[in-house]
Each structure stands twice: as structure tokens, then as C-alpha cells.
Structure 1
Amino acid sequence: MIRHFFLTLLLSCACVAHAGPGAHGPNGEHLDAPASSGAAVDAQPTIEANTETFELVGILAADELSVMVDRYATNEPLLNGNLEVEFNGIKAQGKLHADFGDYSFTDEKLLRALRQPGNHALVFTLIAGNESDLIEGSLNVVADGHADGFGPFWKARWPWIIVSVALALAAAAGLVWRRHAQKKN
């Protein structure tokens, strides 16, 4: 009986693992992908901004603000400019990584300020040869949602885990009832 219980529990957990990352819906879509109507809960904060001449996309990572700049009309990467960012009186110069095509901001004072939850208005100053531009954008940083100790793995799977445990308990109860019925006869 105990063996049947653990076998049922194991199969239930395997079903949960099978429906995890990479699962597909009826139209072939990835079920673990972020919904198209909103941002992913655990996504890194990003910024997108443009002017008539240039556009930029940036990601706030743990150790840097990485910003890619290109020409708005052609999407040609801008790899020969100087990029500066200003936020709440803090100015920082980006370092061009030509191999990645991004400008990296690693100023600790800037990063510490940007990591604070809120909607941060950033102003980028771009100088490329005879061209210059001010590009304004907003970086939205949400509070860390893992303060409760449950990361994205458990938050995404708790309904399946509850169903699996309930099925395992129901199977165990059925085995106990069947064993009890056999003893009566």
C-alpha cells in the first residue's frame, strides 16, 4: 500500500514537471512565456526611447545599465558615439563595448539609485561626430517580489502542485479504503 502511495505521488510530480517550462498550448505557443498583455514578473527593468534621429534600448542588470543605440530610420547600430546618462543629478559616462554594440554604465552611485523601486526619468546625451541628441526615457523598477521566499518556480506552479498532492492523497485514500474493504470480506 505504501508503495502504491509513493508511486502515485511520484507520477503526480512527474506530471507537474512535464507541464513546466517549454510546455506548449493548443496553438504551439510557449506556456511559460510572458503574457503579451503585460511584462514578465521577474524581468529585468528596461528602457526604450527614441527621437527622430536615434533610438535606444537599455536593460538594468545587476552590475550595469547596458544601452544599445541605433539610427531610428535604418536601425544601424551607433558604435562611434559618446553616451552620457543623467538621473536625479547623477551623471555617468557610458563605456562603449564595440564587440557587443552597447554602452555600459557601471557607476555604482547611479546603479544604486536606479535599483530603487519606482519610475525613473532618465536623460541621455548622445554625441556622434557632428550630431548630438537628447533622448528621454523612463525606467520602471518594481519592488522585489520574492520577499515572501517563494520564487518564480513555485509561484508559477503552485496550482499544479496542489492538484498533484490532492490526487496523490485521493489515491492513497482509495488504497486505504480498498484495503479496509478487503479486510471486511
Structure 2
Amino acid sequence: MALSCTAIAPALAGEGHNHDAAPAGAEGQASPRVQAHSDLFELVGVVEKGQMTVYLDRYATNEPVANAKIEYEAGSNKGVAAPQPDGTYVVKFDALSKPGELPFSFTVSAGSDTDLLAGELHIEDSHAEEAQAARPWARWAAYGAAALALAAAALFARRQFARRRA
């Protein structure tokens, strides 16, 4: 029985408890984002709470670009990103709050420079992650059930062995 318990012990170790593996990195998931760049511009769109905040920089210098016109197209959604006082731009439409893939194209006009940028946005289904986070004990309950089943099997085998000897 001791041998079977030591054999299963590594399987019961959770993330961060396996001393043979490298330590796990910081947990948490970044917000969905779309990234695109050209020789002129670099654009990053970050989705939070059903809207996208767009950051636009000069690609060569990383200097923020204010007062640009950013037209976007994502599937059937088209429009112009709204400039914000902090130098960012905001895009809002319903599909930004739903899981799925969205190909984006941005037409950026800043002064005499105009460029077309394209990227893909992937929005994960957050309900599955929330359900798992709400039940952190579920994994340990499964480990406990497996350990109980193993102990019951070992006890049954021991009794059968003892009956055969007698």
C-alpha cells in the first residue's frame, strides 16, 4: 500500500507543487488585444468591458500619435474610432463583448501620412474561466476521490490476499 501511495503522490501534486518542474509564472490573463504595425504606425487595441481602447504610435520612434483619424472595419462593423483627451481612441460595438474571432482593418490618417493596418482579435469565453475560478476546490475533491478509490482498492486486495492465505 505504501508503494502505491508513493506512486500516486506526484500525480496529486498541483501546479506549483511539482519540485521537478520549473515554477509556474504569474497567473492571470491579459485583456484581448489586436496588434498591427507598418513602416509608419504601430497600433494596439485592448478590449475591456465591451469596448476597445486603441493606442497609436509612430513605429520608428514609439511616439504617440494624437489627432489621427482611425477608421476601422471588423466584419460588418465599420466606423471611426473616437479620439480621447489622453491621446487614445475608443471603438465600441456589440461584438466586442462576445467570444470569437474578429479580423480588423484600420485605416490611419495622421497629417500627410495614411496607412492601412490589419490584425485579428481573439476574445475568449470568460464564463468557462469564471466557473473554474469559482470552484477552486473541485480539483482537490477529484484528487481526494481518486485517493479514496485507491485506498479502497488496496484494502480490498489485502483482504482477498488474507482470505487466500487462511
Q: State the TM bucket, normalised to the shorter chain.
A: 0.5 to 0.7
* 2:85 matches 1:103: no
Matches for 1:91-130 after TM superposition, within 5 Å:
91-99=78-86, 101-106=87-92, 111-130=93-112
Measure how far apart 1:105 and its partner are. Answer: 1.4
Measure how far apart 1:64 and its partner are. Answer: 1.6
1:132 aligned counterpart, secondary structure: strand
Structure 2 counterpart of 1:44, from 2, 20, 31:
31
Give the Cα separation in 1 of the matches to 2:71 and 2:133: 34
What count of residue pairs does the alignment treat as equivalent? 132
Give the Cα separation in 1 of the matches to 2:96 and 2:78: 12
Matches for 1:77-156 after TM superposition, within 5 Å:
77-99=64-86, 101-106=87-92, 111-146=93-128, 150-152=131-133, 154-155=135-136
Deviations 1:42-90 (A, max 9, x none): x421111111111111111214211100011110000121111111232
**Letter of the 2:97 counterpart:** R
* Greater percentage in strand: 2
**Letter of the 1:77 counterpart:** P
Deviations 1:93-138 (A, max 9, x none): 1111132x210113xxxx2123333221100111101111111010
- TM-score using structure 2 length: 0.62
Q: Is the 8 A contact 2:50 2:97 kept in 1?
A: no
Q: Is the 8 A contact 1:55 1:69 kept in 2?
A: yes
Q: Is the 8 A contact 1:94 1:104 kept in 2?
A: yes
**Letter of the 1:135 counterpart:** L
CA RMSD of aligned residues (A): 3.4
Identical-pair percentage = 30
Give the Cα separation in 1 of the matches to 2:25 and 2:108: 40
Measure how far apart 1:30 and its partner are. Answer: 8.0
1:145 aligned counterpart, secondary structure: helix
Measure how far apart 1:159 and its partner are. Answer: 4.7
2:128 aligned counterpart, secondary structure: coil
Give the Cα separation in 2 of the matches to 1:88 and 1:63: 16
The equivalent of 2:27 in structure 1 is 33
Of structures 1 and 2, the one with the larger relative CO (CA 8 A, separation 6+) is 1
1:152 aligned counterpart, secondary structure: helix
Q: Is the 8 A contact 1:79 1:98 kept in 2?
A: no
Q: What are structure 1's unaligned runs of at least 5 residues?
A: 1-22, 35-39, 165-185
Q: Is the 8 A contact 1:59 1:67 kept in 2?
A: yes
